[in-house]
Structure 1
Amino acid sequence: MSSRFLSSSFKHRVIGAGFRAVAATGADRWLAPLARGEGAILMFHHVRPARPDPFQPNRLLEITPEHLDRTLTLVRRLGYAIVPLDEVPDRLRRGGGRFVALTFDDGYRDNRDHALPILTSHDAPWTMFVTTDYASGEGRLWWLELEEVIRRSDEIGLDGRTLPSRTFDEKNAAFAAAYADLRAGPEPRLREIIGAWCDEAGIDRRALVRSLCLGWDEIAALSQETGLTIGAHTLTHPMLAKHDEATARREIVESRGIIAERLGREIRHLAYPVGNPGSAGPREFRLAREAGYGTAVTTRPGHLFPAHADHLAALPRVSVNGLYQSEAAVRALMSGVPFLLWNRGRRLDVG
């Protein structure tokens, strides 16, 4: 079994144990005044019923509708107002009580089919970030392509190595090894290699996008829903920091213009694809400001503090992770305690 897979599995066990420890010790209550910010931006991807397939290496990116319902109920019980992303800058500057904003990345059809009824029942405003290529049915969901390749294959070859993928454990190990190797290198290499694997396995990459992502007509209809704000998630969902400045600027600027033209409304918010420090940093923050976005969100973990009002193009988010669908996990996340530890006491991570 791959050491990377063992490391990943160990990491997830440690995180899960950490959530349980926070709940068991009451740290989510007695440390919260120190750790908790003014609010938080919650991050979601897929919302859909649980699937029986045991091989789901991207399961962290999906939660069940029931967990979304429980999460929103708990957030309100903990005293948080659920507010539109448009209100976040003013709340950071002026206060007004603890708050959360809800964000959904990529534009998945299940956000409409499974999340929307729950959001409506809670009268909860939300933002959906749209990648224009996905809306056109032409993009690359490469992490899902990789999952499907390994699901269908007995082995894959990577840089002279053979990664077996016959058994459940082998498939998880192959995914972890390939994902780590490809993510660490140039993005064109990642897309080229996974694309070639898809061709060999007979996987229609465009069909995958069209089956999962809303098309333009569906997004236009959905955008009429009360409480929904549409934001931009670039043209092609690249790891922006791995590309030259002209490419990053085009992705950030042109996606905003295309979505605005398609929907006939101003686009005020951006989510950086992948969004970690290796994918979005000071250059991307500057480009988002220059493009005129009111806010831009990362995947750097953390709560929001008043000082974030001066860094609206580098806002952190709290991932509601599909591997930890429990009240203890949500309480821990909303307490801010995990981020106090993760960020070593720093309130801002904007460099």
Structure 2
Amino acid sequence: MAIKQLLKRTSGWLYLNSPVGRHQLHGAGVILMLHRVLANDRAADLPHRNELCVGPKAFEHLLTWLKKNFDCVPLMEILQPGAIRTGRPKIALTFDDGWRDNALNAFPLLKKHQVPASIFLSTDYIGSRQRFWWESLGETLWRSHGEKARAHLIECLQRLGLPLPVLLDDLDVQRRSLALLHFLQTLKTLPPGELSRLTDQCPDESLPQALDWHQVRALEASGLIRFGPHGASHSILTGLDDQRLDEELSRSRNALLNGCNRPLPVYCYPNGNHDERVREHVADHDFPFALGTVAGIYRGISDPLALPRIGISQRTARNPELLSWRIYRGARP
């Protein structure tokens, strides 16, 4: 695996610094997808956090690398017609969900390096103590809230016919964390109401998980950050009937109109899930653009309601040459 990673990093570096790579990326735009920046890198290294979280050192390393190789621009500079023309390839940072650590840990580094970003809010969570199920269930099962809380949640899961994998009691931290990651991924198929009830069985945390509207307005006032909707309740849009889908789209859109001065005309699909019906409803709610999660680069000819993004994990932030490899894969004809 180490040799494979080394080959990818080397190939990525060569691609970005070769005439062929520079030609393919000329006038292109890359949209990155992040979620959280934790307070320390060791916490972000664990597999069950690695995909959604980066640590501050890794994030700063990534920002430094990005500024060296790209023009870091606001999202709309990539999406607006005629924006992608000449010069170095452009890259834009997006954050999903609206985690509180976007303000506490990510923004100071974005400000230090003067890198703009867009944050897509699951608006029901903003300014409330409502919790994201992945974080609450995952950290409770990881014993972050103690053994008693973990045992209670395990009982609730067993009553639903969802016993934990044996490896979740493995003595090896990495194997245990990887088993938790895989288990959490299986829970994505549960109905939103079931996930909410399970989350209610987890201990309350001292701070809300999400931003509040005061933080949103303060970040927007900085001039570096703009906001868009990422659903209201973070429900998977493809699983909603037409009425609930329209309610979800309207509620998130109205929350942004009331809470921000310049909300983005861009929708961000929760979990990246969308189909033709969802895209039609998003367009009917006056969104000319929408972000998915399929990897690729943007040349202005993609479906504007299914825009590609490249995800950033802790592993990628530590080794940005792996990002250049993914850009190379996405840039191929």
TM category, shorter: 0.7 to 0.9
CA distance in 1, matches of 2:184, 2:262: 37
Letter in 1 for 2:251: E
**Residues 1:115 and 1:253: Cα distance change in structure 2 (over 3 Å):** same
Cross-structure match for 1:331? 324
TM-score, with structure 2 as normaliser: 0.81
TM-score, with structure 1 as normaliser: 0.77
What SS does structure 2 have at the residue aligned with 1:211?
Answer: coil
Write the mapping of 1:200-215 to structure 2, written as runs, cut at 5 A: 202-204=202-204, 207=205, 210-215=207-212
Q: Tell me, yes or no, if the aligned pair for 1:231 and 1:270 is still in contact at 8 Å.
A: yes
Q: Tell me, yes or no, if the aligned pair for 2:137 and 2:198 is still in contact at 8 Å.
A: no
Unmatched segments (≥5 aa) in structure 1: 1-12, 347-351
**Counterpart check, 1:240 vs 2:242:** no
Write the mapping of 1:55-204 to structure 2, written as runs, cut at 5 A: 57-78=48-69, 80-90=70-80, 95-97=85-87, 98-152=89-143, 153=150, 157=158, 159=161, 161=163, 163-164=165-166, 165-169=168-172, 171-172=176-177, 174-183=179-188, 185-188=189-192, 191-192=193-194, 195-196=197-198, 199=201, 202-204=202-204
What SS does structure 2 have at the residue aligned with 1:221?
Answer: helix
**Counterpart check, 1:221 vs 2:218:** yes
Match among 254, 259, 274 for residue 251 of structure 2: 254
Shift of 1:18: 4.6
Shift of 1:313: 1.5
Unmatched segments (≥5 aa) in structure 2: 144-149
**Counterpart check, 1:321 vs 2:324:** no
CA distance in 1, matches of 2:58, 2:164: 38
Q: Tell me, yes or no, if the aligned pair for 1:41 and 1:103 is still in contact at 8 Å.
A: yes
What SS does structure 2 have at the residue aligned with 1:301?
Answer: coil
CA distance in 1, matches of 2:104, 2:131: 22
Shift of 1:180: 3.6
Cross-structure match for 2:147? none
CA distance in 2, matches of 1:116, 1:146: 26
Q: Tell me, yes or no, if the aligned pair for 2:21 and 2:328 is still in contact at 8 Å.
A: yes
**Residues 1:20 and 1:28: Cα distance change in structure 2 (over 3 Å):** farther
Shift of 1:237: 0.8
What SS does structure 2 have at the residue aligned with 1:105?
Answer: strand
Cross-structure match for 1:8? none
**Residues 1:150 and 1:312: Cα distance change in structure 2 (over 3 Å):** same
**Counterpart check, 1:20 vs 2:6:** yes
**Residues 1:287 and 1:35: Cα distance change in structure 2 (over 3 Å):** farther
Shift of 1:171: 3.9
What SS does structure 1 have at the residue aligned with 2:32?
Answer: strand
Cross-structure match for 1:6? none
Shift of 1:122: 2.5
CA distance in 1, matches of 2:115, 2:131: 30
Q: Tell me, yes or no, if the aligned pair for 2:96 and 2:121 is still in contact at 8 Å.
A: yes
Shift of 1:266: 4.2
Q: Tell me, yes or no, if the aligned pair for 1:297 and 1:317 is still in contact at 8 Å.
A: yes
Number of residue pairs matched? 312
Deviations 1:146-170 (Å, cap 9, x if unpaired)? 2123123365525264534333557
**Residues 1:75 and 1:162: Cα distance change in structure 2 (over 3 Å):** closer
Q: Tell me, yes or no, if the aligned pair for 1:83 and 1:99 is still in contact at 8 Å.
A: yes
**Residues 1:295 and 1:148: Cα distance change in structure 2 (over 3 Å):** same
Letter in 2 for 1:329: L
CA distance in 2, matches of 1:269, 1:160: 37
**Residues 1:289 and 1:55: Cα distance change in structure 2 (over 3 Å):** same
**Residues 1:149 and 1:195: Cα distance change in structure 2 (over 3 Å):** farther
CA distance in 1, matches of 2:183, 2:65: 37
What SS does structure 1 have at the residue aligned with 2:165?
Answer: strand
What SS does structure 1 have at the residue aligned with 2:308?
Answer: strand
Shift of 1:192: 1.3
**Percentage identity across paired residues of the two chains:** 23
Letter in 1 for 2:183: A
Deviations 1:180-206 (Å, cap 9, x if unpaired)? 4322x3433xx515733752xx523xx
CA distance in 2, matches of 1:104, 1:326: 19
Q: Which moved more, 1:140-149 or 1:260-269?
A: 260-269
Q: Tell me, yes or no, if the aligned pair for 1:41 and 1:102 is still in contact at 8 Å.
A: yes
Write the mapping of 1:271-310 to structure 2, written as runs, cut at 5 A: 271-275=268-272, 279-308=273-302
